[in-house]
Amino acid sequence: MRSFALLLCTLFTAPLWAQSAIAPTARLDAATVPQPEGWADDLALTIPEDLNPDPNILEINLEAVIRDMEIMPGKLTPVWTYNGVLPGPLIKVKVGDRVIVHFKNSLPEDTSIHWHGLRISNDMDGVPGFTMDPVRPQEEFTYDFVVPDAGTFWYHPHVDNSAAQMGWGLYGPLIVEDPNEPQGLGDELILVFSDMSLNPDGQFEPADSGGSAGNLFGREGTVLLVNGKVQPTLKVRQGKPQRWRIINATRSRYYTLRYKRAPLVKLGGDGGLAARPETVDEIKLVPSERLDLVFTPPDAPGTLSPFRWYATNRGYGSTYYRVPEDILLIQTVDAPPVQAAPVPAVLRQIEPIDLSHATEREINLTIAFDRNKKVVMGINGIPNERAVPVMVKVGDTEIWTIRNDTDFSHPFHMHGYFFQVLDDERIPQWKDSVDVPFKSSLRIAVHFDGRPGMWMYHCHILDHAEAGMMGHIHVMPAD
């Protein structure tokens, strides 16, 4: 009798959503309820003013400028920024839009903007010495291009000192939407992962810290950031999906990420949606790579748990004495759980590149030491400053076997073109950045579909690129 009375008491005092655990009912449809109020306020990005009334043109001002910011509590850091914010302003357009950026350099040294992953004309790629002159201090340059592809992209400098400039804060997100892609994948959240090397006073460690050893290992920051903040909080509702667009904007850090081994549904990345989704319990993201995924919060209301970074085995010493780090706090609000519809089984049709007339080429990523024990990296044993360009013509198709016999993994990035990884176990998708693990090789196919000019390819551990692991492709007009 006493047990029956306790049950009645529980039923009449517990909130309705909690009673469902005793008397199961159908969950609310996730599509009919919003995200929690202020769910992503802690992760908000700056939206630049559009100077052009045409809905198909985004025209903005962008200034590279140093601003003091409180990255560490009570300490001011002289952050290198775009428009005084970290990360830089969110550039968000749709496929086919024109983008006009009036760029001013208010830094004490040369810089540029590279539009990472965009298949745009060569003169807009932002690589001094190959596609343009550097933008010198107090000078201006106007970037003007049309975006042809949907996807998650970003922008950053591409000068001799770009590793340091990025490490000091020069990076920003660029999203190109496609109104024809599947709907209902979740409310969008853009997450820019980065890190900074700061001393206890909040000042930057020397850009060349560690000397040759720093070049060899790649310099990872001491402070991990998400959208420019340390351990920001994201509010979620159990069962209410979110579409995360993640950008790895670090100079050398690999990200292995997990949330309690909860399922994460990968949608694609660099060049937009993949052919189909893939459910995993952890993700890996190499420097410069992007990933779209659906995160469906699994925790009971009232839970606060961290989304964690784990060390990735990217070569000798890369996991020694490394412990997981909390990078994002997930707060599940006190609200009834909801039920979301499954992600579509097919996201996009991606035709394989026609390889019937492809030319085979081998690209070796190499590391050596000169007579002074200085690290010298290169492509096929040749550092960038002595490299001879790969010669192709518009309309050519090539298969590159990228070999990495070194002791360190390398994220390979190609400017100006998407490629496909030739691996039957991978879900078809368009890429511009891919990991080449140590002591391994992979094959990619690329069709040089236009945009003649000189294009770069390199390791996107930027310390490696600046140590010589960079080459260029001279795409000539078709006959």
Boundaries of every domain in the chain: 41-177, 187-339, 359-476
Mean pLDDT value across residues 100-125: 98
How would you write 355-408 as a 3-class SS string?
Answer: CCCCEEEEEEEEEEECCCCCEEEEECCECHHHCCCEEEECCCEEEEEEEECCCE
Which two structure tokens, joined as six digits, stand for 29? 């449809």
Contact 83, 62 (CB under 8 A): yes
**CA within 13 Å, CB half, 27:** 16
* CA gap 254, 27 in Å, rounded: 38
Q: What is the per-residue pLDDT across 424-468, written as a single tens digit (0 to 9) for each? A: 999 999 999 999 999 999 999 999 999 999 999 999 999 999 999
Average pLDDT, the chain: 94
Q: What is the per-residue pLDDT across 382-425, written as a single tens digit (0 to 9) for each? A: 999 999 999 999 999 999 999 999 999 999 999 999 999 999 99
* CA gap 343, 262 in Å, rounded: 16
Mean pLDDT value across residues 361-374: 92
**CA within 13 Å, CB half, 120:** 24
Please say if the pLDDT value at position 381 is more than 50: yes
DSSP 63-126: EEEEEEE-SSTT--EEEEEETTBSSPPPEEEETT-EEEEEEEE-SSS-B--EEET----GGGS-
* CA gap 82, 171 in Å, rounded: 8
Q: What is the per-residue pLDDT across 278-322, written as a single tens digit (0 to 9) for each? A: 999 999 999 999 999 999 999 999 999 999 999 999 998 899 989
Confirm whether 41-177 and 359-476 share one CATH topology. yes
Which CATH fold would you assign to the domain 187-339? Answer: Immunoglobulin-like (2.60.40)
Determine the pLDDT at residue 27.
80
Amino acid at 26: A
Determine the pLDDT at residue 14.
43
Amino acid at 254: Y
Please say if the pLDDT value at position 147 is more than 50: yes
* CA gap 169, 228 in Å, rounded: 9
Q: What is the per-residue pLDDT across 191-210, written as a single tens digit (0 to 9) for each? A: 999 999 999 999 999 999 99
Inter-CA distances, 150 with 99, 134, 181, 417, 429, Å: 14, 28, 9, 14, 13
Please say if the pLDDT value at position 46 is more than 70: yes
Which two structure tokens, joined as six digits, stand for 38? 């202020």
Band (25; pLDDT cuts 50, 70, 90): low
Which CATH fold would you assign to the domain 359-476? Answer: Immunoglobulin-like (2.60.40)
Residue carrying structure tokens 């002595």: 386
β-pairing verdict for 359-369 and 338-339: unpaired
For 41-177, the fitting CATH number among 3.30.1490.100, 3.20.20.140, 1.10.260.40, 2.60.40.420 is 2.60.40.420
